[in-house]
């Protein structure tokens, strides 16, 4: 296989995704919150990074950029509306660009809500979604609104089922505990818990995961399901008119979980 995707652990639970073309030893770096791990890996494997892709402004996604740019002098792609260090290629919804060294074409999705300007990178049925969607969960509201994040998750939901989701954190088991509190009768949740526990015992990532799988147990993609709405009504004591209301109170429930 000439192309691989490597999750490089960073900080306590981040992944820096490295998209590597082994045929010419080049790579793209997604969300480098730290630099040293990337540099060590590239040195060991004699790989030349050719670009940095950034999903949003948070420090655990951007703090490695400056050091990497100083060493490799490579372009930095990122959201046009957020302060990203060394940004050379500001991007907005539906923008497209290519990375010729990896023969990859990327499409930008506006998936704001976690932060107001958060973007996702879509290529060949792979979505790098930063902190917008996690396996069995979603990002907190740290700049955007519930309506915005709900719309962004709907946008992701409309992608093909086989889309592979590359999230920026290993939060899956914690998220599944919450998912199970919301939908105790959903057997797909327990199946995913068993699967992820086995992976984590081997120190393997629970990611990527297909969108099709996520739709079966991620409560934040299931806010129009009767079972989720019912649970949110009971927990919040609020009237739920629609999927967006359900999402808003579900997000609050998770914040306090
Ligand atoms: Zn973040």
236 touches 253 (CB < 8 A): yes
66 alpha carbon – ligand 1 mean position (Å) = 18
Q: What torsion, rounded to 10 degrees, do the Cα atoms 15, 46, 164, 189 define?
A: -40
Q: Report the alpha-carbon distance of residue 254 to residue 243 in Å, rounded.
A: 16
Catalytic residue among 31, 58, 110, 118: 58
Which pLDDT score, from 0 to 100, does residue 169 have?
Answer: 98
Strand 104-110 vs strand 137-138: parallel, antiparallel, or unpaired? unpaired
Nearest to 49 by CA among 80, 86, 89, 17: 17
Which pLDDT score, from 0 to 100, does residue 117 have?
Answer: 98
Which pLDDT score, from 0 to 100, does residue 236 have?
Answer: 96
Which pLDDT score, from 0 to 100, does residue 1 have?
Answer: 64
Instruction: Give 254's contacts (C-beta < 8 A, 6+ positions apart).
Output: 137, 178
Catalytic residue among 31, 110, 118, 131: 131
139 alpha carbon – ligand 1 mean position (Å) = 7
1 alpha carbon – ligand 1 mean position (Å) = 32
171 alpha carbon – ligand 1 mean position (Å) = 13
Counting DSSP H helices and E strands in the chain, the numbers are 9, 14
35 alpha carbon – ligand 1 mean position (Å) = 17
Q: What is the pLDDT of residues 71-80, one digit of tens each?
A: 999 999 999 9
114 alpha carbon – ligand 1 mean position (Å) = 7
Give DSSP secondary structure letters for the chain: --EEEEEEEETTTEEEEEEEETTTTEEEEE--S-SHHHHHHHHHHT-EEEEEE-----HHHHTTHHHHHHHH---EEEETTS--TT--EEE-TT-EEEEGGGTEEEEEEE--SSSTT-EEEEETTEEEEETTEETTEE---SSS-HHHHHHHHHHHHTS-TTPEEEESB--HHHHHHHHHHH-TT-HHHHHHHHHHHHHHHTT-----EEHHHHHHH-GGG-TTSHHHHHHHHHHH-----SHHHHHHHHHHHHHT-
Instruction: Give 38's contacts (C-beta < 8 A, 6+ positions apart).
Output: 8, 16, 18, 29, 32, 49, 64, 68
Q: Is 131 a catalytic residue?
A: yes
Which pLDDT score, from 0 to 100, does residue 110 have?
Answer: 98
Q: Which two tokens stand for residue 15?
A: 């992944």
Residues in the chain with pLDDT values less than 70 = 1
2 alpha carbon – ligand 1 mean position (Å) = 31
Catalytic residue among 31, 110, 114, 118: 114
56 alpha carbon – ligand 1 mean position (Å) = 7
Catalytic residue among 31, 110, 118, 169: 169
30 touches 53 (CB < 8 A): yes
Q: Is 61 a catalytic residue?
A: yes
SS3 state at 141: coil
Q: How far apart are the first and last CA of the chain?
A: 42
Could you count the other beta carbons within 10 Å of the beta carbon of residue 118?
30
Which pLDDT score, from 0 to 100, does residue 7 have?
Answer: 98
């Amino acid at each position: 296989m000439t192309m691989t995707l490597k999750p490089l652990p960073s900080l306590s639970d981040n992944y820096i995704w490295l998209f590597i073309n082994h045929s010419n030893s080049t790579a793209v770096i997604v969300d480098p919150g730290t630099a040293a791990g990337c540099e060590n890996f590239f040195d060991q494997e004699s790989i030349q990074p050719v670009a940095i892709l950034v999903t949003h402004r948070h420090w655990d996604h951007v703090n490695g950029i400056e050091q990497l740019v100083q060493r490799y002098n490579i372009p930095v792609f990122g959201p046009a509306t957020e302060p990203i260090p060394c940004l050379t290629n500001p991007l907005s919804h539906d923008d497209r660009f290519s990375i010729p060294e990896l023969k990859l074409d990327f499409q930008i999705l506006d998936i704001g809500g976690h932060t107001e300007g958060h973007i996702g990178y879509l290529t060949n049925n792979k979505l790098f979604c930063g902190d917008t969607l996690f396996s069995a969960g979603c990002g907190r509201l740290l700049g955007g609104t519930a309506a915005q994040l709900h719309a962004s998750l709907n946008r992701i939901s409309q992608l093909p089922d086989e889309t592979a989701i590359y999230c920026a954190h290993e939060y899956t088991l914690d998220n599944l505990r919450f998912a199970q509190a919301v939908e105790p009768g959903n057997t797909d949740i327990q199946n995913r818990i068993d699967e992820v526990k086995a992976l984590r015992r081997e120190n393997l990532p629970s990611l990527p995961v297909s969108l099709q799988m996520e739709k079966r147990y991620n409560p934040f993609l299931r806010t129009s399901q009767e079972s989720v709405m019912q649970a949110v009504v009971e927990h919040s004591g609020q009237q739920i008119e629609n999927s967006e209301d359900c999402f808003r109170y579900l997000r609050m429930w998770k914040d306090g979980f």
